Amino acid sequence: EDTLEIAEGLQQHLEEQGHEVALATKAAHALALACSFRPELVVLDLGLPDRDGYDVVEQLRARGESVPVLILSARGEEADKLRGFRLGADDYVTKPFGGGELFARIAALLRRAARAAAFGESAPASPSRPGPLADETLRDRFGLTARQVDVARLLGEGHTNQEIADRLGVSYFTVRSHTEQVLAKLGVASRAAVGALLYGGS
Binding site for Ca ion (CB under 5 A): 2, 45, 47
SS3 44: strand
In whole angstroms, what is the distance from residue 107 CA to residue 123 CA? 18
Nearer to Ca ion, 2 or 121 (CB): 2
Nearest to 147 by CA among 122, 169, 125: 169
Shortest distance in whole angstroms from residue 135 CB to Ca ion: 33
Smallest distance, Å, CB 30 to Ca ion? 12
**Of the two residues 44 and 194, which places its CB atom closer to Ca ion in the complex?**
44
**Closest distance of CB 1 from Ca ion, Å:** 6
Q: How far is the CB of 4 from Ca ion (least distance, A)?
A: 10
Number of H helices, E strands in the chain: 10, 3
Which has the closest alpha carbon to 65: 93, 33, 94, 91?
33
Q: Which is nearer to Ca ion, 45 or 91 (CB)?
A: 45
Q: Measured at CB, which residue is nearest to Ca ion?
A: 47
DSSP reduced 3-state for 30: helix
- Comparing CB distances to Ca ion, the nearer of 42 and 149 is 42
